Amino acid sequence: MILWTHILEEYALRGLGLPAMSGRDEVLLPKASWLRAPRAADAIKEKQLISGNYLVKYGGEYLRETLKTGRIRLGPAASYGDPSLNPAIRDDELEISLELLPSETSMHLVDKSTGQKKNEIHPTGNVTAKYRSDTDYYVYCLSSVYDFRLYDDFTATCCLIITNPKEFISRLIRRFVEQFPGWDGWGDSVVYIDPLNPSRRGVTVFFNKHFRFAYQKEYRVVFIHPSAKNLLDPIFLELGSLENFAELIVL
């Protein structure tokens, strides 16, 4: 699939169509199919989802309890680097790396005794800049789209469609800070970055991700402690029934 995608993109960049193929060539083409996509389409064929007015939590049977009691699990950001996770989920949520062009990079030696800049350095190649959080934090991830392929990417069999995101996010943040005083929480849409053509304005590991994840259209809520915290354990919260503004879809 990766090779096929590159081939299609090359033809598109060159303004060409695919060449005629023989029957034998067609046998070699990948069969693009998401196993759960047909059922995902059937599940909402009679529903009207308006973009921007809902959030989706993809998952498993545990979402039944989430709907009834509002019980949710929040994991530490560091846990998403677990190599056992699939590529759609696994990421270093504590660091984001950018490649800066030499023409857009200013570098200087610093005098150790005075702290003043001296002797400008002119890089001969791209400069790798890494933004890293000095603390772990809690993150709750959702999507702002109902996308058929996300069931397979997240190995999900259910999803919770939240039709009042404002109420849900408000409850989540309020309940967290009640249970864990001293923490700050807020939600926002993730902004995706091309690491080879980045904007350095306001880059943050909390709400920026590599643009290979852009199709997921993630909305997340993060909780950070003013003092650096590491080795966090997963926690559970109960927000109360969500049945007034959420619906469970089971494939």
User: Is it the case that residue 108 has pLDDT exceeding 90?
Assistant: no
> pTM of the predicted model, to two decimals?
0.81
42-86 per-position pLDDT tens digit: 999 888 888 889 999 999 999 999 999 999 999 999 999 999 999
Contact 125, 99 (CB under 8 A): no
Rounded-to-integer distance, Cα 45 and Cα 132, Å: 43
Contact 232, 142 (CB under 8 A): no
Map out the domains of the chain as residue ranges. 1-32, 36-94+133-250, 102-126
Q: What is the mean pLDDT of residues 31-38?
A: 75
Q: Please spell the DSSP secondary structure of 175-205, one letter per residue.
A: HHHHHSTT-EEEEEE-EEE-TTS---TT--T
